[in-house]
Amino acid sequence: MDNAKEYTIEFLTTALQDMTEIVSTFIMLGSKQGAIRIKAKFNEAAEQIPRFPYSGITVPDDKLSKSGFRIIVIEKYLMFYKVFDNESKVIVYHIINVTRDYPTFMKQIYHLGE
């Protein structure tokens, strides 16, 4: 039953910057172990998504959901990505703290206004 194709994964520069900032914040706060842990969890997600691209939940926001965004929750962070079946590719757009107003942020960045 393992006939499903594996997708490729691409991290946009914005997502890579988000990861770098998150890991750097752990280090600045004196938590080297926290930095190692969160980086490992980001890596686990990066391995999971290409194998199971629809494992992330649909974003609970109509505009973002209709635009194809999905999320994976990694501790207190949301990894936003889209699945492109025609290219067998997944693109990761951003990684955002759950306390941030992500619907407003994502709509402004990707011009999904009202």
- Model pLDDT for residues 39-48, shown as the tens digit of each residue: 999 999 999 9
Rounded to 10 degrees, what is the CA torsion of 17, 21, 57, 83?
A: 10
Residue 14 corresponds to which tokens in the numbers above?
A: 């914005």
In a domain, 15, yes or no: yes
Question: What is residue 53's predicted lDDT score, i.e. its pLDDT?
Answer: 96
Q: Tokens 């959901």: give the residue.
A: 65
In a domain, 2, yes or no: no
- Model pLDDT for residues 31-71, shown as the tens digit of each residue: 999 999 999 999 999 999 999 999 999 998 888 889 999 99
In a domain, 44, yes or no: yes
Question: What is residue 60's predicted lDDT score, i.e. its pLDDT?
Answer: 87
Distance CA 90, CA 34 (A): 27
Read off the CATH number of the domain in which 65 is found. Answer: 3.30.2310.20
In a domain, 3, yes or no: no
Residue 92 scores a pLDDT above 90: yes
Distance CA 11, CA 94 (A): 8
In a domain, 61, yes or no: yes
Tell me the residue range of the domain where 53 lies: 8-109
In a domain, 114, yes or no: no
How far CA 36 is from CA of 46, 47, 59, 69, in Å, comes to: 15, 17, 27, 27
- Determine what percent of the chain falls in helix, strand and coil, rounding each to the nearest 5: 45, 25, 30
Number of separate domains in the chain: 1
In a domain, 18, yes or no: yes
**114 band by pLDDT with thresholds 50, 70 and 90:** low
Side-chain-side CA neighbours of 81 within 13 Å: the count stands at 32
Segment (H or E) for 65 = helix 62-66
In a domain, 81, yes or no: yes
